[in-house]
């Protein structure tokens, strides 16, 4: 039975075993033999070559590209580089700067190296762009995806997989596989009184491109932007409603502003017009909020 949990203690014979962050070849073997056998497989972040070697052993035509060999997933068209759409396009991004590749594992530092992003937000935005590039190189009905882990840094936990899922077309998500990590460098570290569980898992995220694609890339990007905007609007509704609940179910705008500023400081700090956003949320969601008099609002019955 195919399950959503994978565990492969042995990385296998494939690829360069000295390449840091190498994924077990058995993961790709599982994708090709248990999930779907592609007619053409593409890995735009091939690293030490593991995925392509597994594919070729199974007599699956495969193309492996990477920044270290001259292909830039953030600037070059993957479809143009391959020359034809592929049935499966799966990447294995760096997990932000957990392992720095250009200038360390290979060559000189490169500004488009995902392991050299200036911040977590920069990494997420560039990874989104890379996934859109992968989607464009996928044949209708084909699978595209990535292997990604989470990151704990200075007391904060960053769930990259949830960020990726939120940004890509929601109706195309096909599967989320949980992969146990083995023989990682963090096993050698003593975290003392960290208090939180050590991260020992990764995700294999798979989306399926619609069998009949009748919209342009621009339309797809607009759809993703609309999806992101809806998510943002939903978040602000929750913030404002929580503030009203904390104030007893109704309040003047001045009281509401003070509560929102205190309870959602991070969102407020990123939006110079946050008070206008609060008013917009109140006036455009009559099923959630009701105005009792000028400048006074309550949760709608």
What gap in Å lies between CA 203 and CA 151, rounded to an integer? 12
> Residue 230's pLDDT band (boundaries 50, 70, 90)?
low
Which of these, 92, 72, 90, lies nearest to 81 by C-alpha position? Answer: 72
Q: What is the pLDDT of residue 289?
A: 93
Which of these, 184, 199, 181, lies nearest to 6 by C-alpha position? Answer: 181
| Residue 190 scores a pLDDT above 70 | no
Alpha helix ranges (H) inside the chain: 25-30, 50-57, 78-82, 120-136, 160-167, 217-246, 253-263, 265-269, 274-284
Contact 253/297 with Cβ under 8 angstroms?
A: yes
Give the phi and the psi of residue 56 in degrees, each rounded to 5. -65, -35
Q: Which of 51-65, 152-166, 239-253, 283-297 has the highest mean pLDDT?
A: 51-65
Distance of CA 155 to the CA centre of its chain: 20
Find the mean pLDDT for residues 36-59: 95
Instruction: Write the CB contacts of 17 (distance below 8 Å, at least 6 apart in sequence).
Output: 11, 48
HSE-CB at 11 with a 13 A cutoff on CA atoms is 20
> Residue 280's pLDDT band (boundaries 50, 70, 90)?
very high
Q: What is the pLDDT of residue 296?
A: 94
Contact 133/44 with Cβ under 8 angstroms?
A: yes
- The larger pLDDT score, comparing residue 20 to residue 189, is at 20
Q: What is the pLDDT of residue 187?
A: 46
Q: What is the pLDDT of residue 211?
A: 85
pLDDT in tens, 231-242: 666 678 888 988
DSSP class of residue 39 equals S
What's the CA angle centered on 40, arms 36 and 43, to 5 degrees?
A: 90
Kindly tell me the sign of the dihedral angle through the C-alpha atoms of 132, 133, 139, 143.
negative
Instruction: Write the CB contacts of 287 (distance below 8 Å, at least 6 apart in sequence).
Output: 300
Give the residue carrying structure tokens 């602000």: 236
Q: What is the pLDDT of residue 11?
A: 73
Residues present in the chain in total:
301
- Residue 98 buriedness (CB in 10 A; 0-12 / 13-18 / 19+): middle
> Residue 183's pLDDT band (boundaries 50, 70, 90)?
low
Six token digits for residue 103: 């200038």
Find the mean pLDDT for residues 155-180: 90
Q: Taking the model in full, what pTM does it have?
A: 0.75
What strand order describes the sheet that includes 5-6? 5-6, 173-180, 201-208, 138-149, 86-92, 41-43, 62-64
- The larger pLDDT score, comparing residue 17 to residue 192, is at 17
What gap in Å lies between CA 180 and CA 187, rounded to an integer? 13
| Residue 215 scores a pLDDT above 60 | no
pLDDT in tens, 53-64: 999 999 999 999
Contact 258/274 with Cβ under 8 angstroms?
A: no
> Residue 269's pLDDT band (boundaries 50, 70, 90)?
confident
- The larger pLDDT score, comparing residue 19 to residue 71, is at 71
DSSP class of residue 32 equals I
Average confidence score pLDDT of the chain: 86
What gap in Å lies between CA 228 and CA 111, rounded to an integer? 27
Six token digits for residue 93: 């991004």
What gap in Å lies between CA 150 and CA 140, rounded to an integer? 30
| Residue 92 scores a pLDDT above 90 | yes
């Amino acid at each position: 039975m195919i399950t959503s949990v994978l565990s492969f203690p042995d990385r296998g014979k494939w690829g360069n075993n000295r390449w840091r962050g190498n994924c077990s070849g058995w993961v790709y073997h599982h994708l090709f033999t248990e999930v779907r056998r592609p007619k053409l497989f593409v890995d735009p972040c091939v690293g030490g070559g593991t995925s392509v070697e597994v594919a070729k052993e199974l007599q699956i035509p495969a193309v492996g590209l990477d920044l270290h060999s001259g292909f830039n997933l953030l600037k070059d068209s993957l479809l143009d580089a391959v020359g034809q759409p592929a049935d499966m396009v799966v990447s294995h991004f760096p997990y932000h700067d957990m392992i720095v590749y250009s200038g360390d594992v290979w060559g000189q530092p490169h500004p488009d190296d995902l392991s050299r992003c200036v911040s977590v937000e920069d990494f997420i935005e560039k990874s989104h762009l890379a996934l859109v590039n992968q989607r464009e190189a996928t044949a209708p009905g084909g699978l595209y995806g990535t292997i990604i882990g989470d990151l704990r840094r200075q007391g904060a936990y960053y769930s990259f997989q949830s960020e990726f899922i939120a940004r890509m077309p929601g109706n195309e998500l096909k599967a989320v596989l949980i992969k146990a990590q083995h023989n990682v460098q963090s096993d050698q570290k003593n975290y003392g009184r960290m208090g939180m569980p050590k991260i020992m898992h990764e995700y294999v995220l798979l989306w399926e491109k619609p069998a009949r694609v009748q919209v342009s890339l621009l339309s797809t990007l607009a759809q993703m932007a609309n999806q992101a905007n809806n998510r943002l609007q939903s978040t602000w509704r929750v913030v404002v409603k929580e503030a009203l609940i904390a104030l007893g179910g109704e309040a003047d705008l001045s009281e509401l502003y003070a509560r929102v500023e205190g309870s959602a400081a991070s969102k407020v700090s990123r939006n110079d017009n946050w008070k206008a956003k609060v008013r917009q949320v109140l006036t455009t969601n009559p099923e959630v909020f009701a105005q009792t008099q000028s400048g006074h609002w309550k949760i709608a019955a």
